[in-house]
Amino acid sequence: MSDRKARGVPPGQWLGVLGGGQLGRMFCHAAQVLGYRVCVLDPSADGPAGSVAERQIVAAYDDTQALAELGRLCAALTTEFENVPAASLEHLAWQRPVRPAAAAVAVAQDRLREKAFVRTCGVPVAPHAAIATAADLGAVDAALFPAILKTARLGYDGKGQIAVADAAGLAAAWQELGSVPCVLEKRLPLRRELSVIIARGSDGATAVFPVSENEHRDGILAVSVLPARITPEQAERACAIAGAIASRLDYVGVLCVELFELAGGELVVNEMAPRPHNSGHATIDACVTSQFAQQVRALAGLPLGDCRLLAPAVMLNLLGDIWFDAAGSERAPAFDQVLGVPGACLHLYGKAEARPGRKMGHVTVLGQSADEAMARAARVAAILGMELPALASAAALMAEPTGPAGTM
Ligand code: ADP
Ligand code: MG
């Protein structure tokens, strides 16, 4: 029903977003560029999206009165994070088109369902076992170790995960995670981490961004390189996997599929996110259409935009850590110097308080070549006192002499 209703939500109308974090904030920016007004529903009054949205409803995600108010105001609704209760999306869908649909979000909310679903698409996932009860602990295949125990639900940025070397450590790890339903996943030898961001319209049309190559630190995305340094055949395979998943889910909106590339080149799906993704932030500055603009277009039933890359890019995530020196004293990051690096595009999310591990912003660094973008990104990292991206090759670091900023 929602597809017919949503076709052609014209600019000037209200779009609604569940969640008020940085993804919601960047959704607002993109929607406003196209002349939409945005209402954000979030339990917290001072989130990054609330301050840029035209309206904010401060309420719990399952507050039926608040949902009804959002539904009355907005012509179509989306979510900016996957842990919004699927029931709330379903509830809203009685009133208005909701994209992605609750059913698709529900698959991504549960690692076990997600893995089973990906397999039905003919795509491999890491060998794993469900740990639902204490009885499951003893029945685990020894071949799964060394492994990672992950909570089936609500995990993000490496939270809700414990490395487990062998069967002896499993029970304690499960207890530490609260004895909630988990998935025990074989730790795979990764050659590379990749992600594909795909947009799919209600008419089934798709648009796929160039594959991104990602480096994580402590379970949190640190660096993304766009485009990934893989062969065209490998990129085609990665995009085909994302396309198969999106179409089988009958997905409408922006979907991110995280992939592992193994030593032999085999691609394995790690997980998916039913929304724009951190690894796609470079699309804002580096592509004709950003992932957030695609989210707006798919939501409003407009034609999807061109995903073409305009320049090679490296995105550095800015965590709260860089607001502190080695002794733990607060300091102001030298953003003025960052802005002096050619091709550096700084995005800050307006969060009042910096905390270690908290996502405060990102810098996308563009170059004429991939090496130039990487060399500039290495300069930005050095200015901010961040660890250099491991993805940066020594050759790339030599590629550019110190530029006009002269800060290094
Ligand atoms: P989150 O939901 O927190 O992003 P992920 O499942 O994506 O959780 O795990 C975070 C990171 O941990 C991955 O990007 C990868 O670097 C590492 N990781 C997760 N699962 C595996 C695995 N099976 N083998 C090797 N590394 C893994
Ligand atoms: Mg992940």
- pLDDT tens track for 68-126: 999 999 999 999 987 899 999 999 999 999 999 999 999 999 999 999 999 999 999 99
- Mean pLDDT to the nearest integer, 357-368: 97
137 and 241: one domain?
no
85 and 172: one domain?
no
319 and 386: one domain?
yes
**120 in a structural domain:** no
152 and 196: one domain?
no
Q: Which of 162, 186, 210 is the last residue of a domain?
A: 186
Q: Is the pLDDT of residue 390 over 90?
A: no
14 and 153: one domain?
no
- Distance from residue 270's CA to the centre of ligand 2 (Å): 7
265 and 396: one domain?
yes
- pLDDT tens track for 7-35: 589 999 999 999 999 999 999 999 999 99
Q: Is the pLDDT of residue 389 over 90?
A: no
Per DSSP, 168 falls in state: G
111, 148, 156, 266, best to mutate for ligand 1 pocket (most atoms within 8 Å of CB): 148
Rounded to a whole number, what is the largest CA-CA distance in the chain?
64
**105 in a structural domain:** no
- Supply the pLDDT for residue 406: 33
Residue partners of 268: CB distance under 8 A and separation at least 6: 124, 125, 126, 188, 259, 260, 262
Domain containing 39 — which CATH number? 3.40.50.20
What number of other Cβ atoms are within 10 A of residue 57's Cβ?
21
- pLDDT tens track for 243-288: 999 999 999 999 999 999 999 999 999 999 999 999 999 999 999 9
% the chain with pLDDT above 70: 94
Q: Which of 79, 98, 117 is the last residue of a domain?
A: 98
**113 in a structural domain:** no
30 and 146: one domain?
no
Find the domain containing 34 and state its range.
3-98
265 and 394: one domain?
yes
**323 in a structural domain:** yes
- Supply the pLDDT for residue 56: 98
What pLDDT band is residue 157 in, cutting at 50, 70 and 90?
A: confident
More confident residue, 7 or 387: 387
**89 in a structural domain:** yes
- Supply the pLDDT for residue 400: 40
Q: Is the pLDDT of residue 405 over 90?
A: no
CA distances from 141 to 136, 165, 168, 315 (A): 10, 13, 13, 39
Q: Is the pLDDT of residue 6 over 90?
A: no
More confident residue, 171 or 396: 171
**92 in a structural domain:** yes
**241 in a structural domain:** yes
Domain containing 217 — which CATH number? 3.30.470.20
Sheet harboring 14-18: ordered strands across?
A: 55-58, 37-42, 14-18, 76-79
Q: Is the pLDDT of residue 403 over 50?
A: no
- Distance from residue 2's CA to the centre of ligand 2 (Å): 29
Ligand closest to 216 (CA) is: 1
53 and 159: one domain?
no
- Supply the pLDDT for residue 81: 85
CA distances from 13 to 31, 72, 75, 251, 292 (A): 10, 12, 7, 23, 17
Q: Which residues form the pocket of ligand 1, taking CB atoms under 6 Å from any ligand atom?
A: 126, 148, 150, 155-158, 185, 187-188, 190, 193, 216, 219, 258, 270-271
% the chain with pLDDT above 90: 90
178 and 228: one domain?
no
Residue partners of 339: CB distance under 8 A and separation at least 6: 346
Domain containing 147 — which CATH number? 3.30.1490.20
What pLDDT band is residue 155 in, cutting at 50, 70 and 90?
A: confident
- Distance from residue 375's CA to the centre of ligand 1 (Å): 27
Q: Is the pLDDT of residue 218 over 60?
A: yes
Q: Which of 186, 203, 226 is the last residue of a domain?
A: 186
Domain count for the chain, please give it. 3
**104 in a structural domain:** no
205 and 353: one domain?
yes
268 and 230: one domain?
yes
CA distances from 32 to 26, 73, 200, 297 (A): 10, 16, 21, 12
- Supply the pLDDT for residue 5: 44
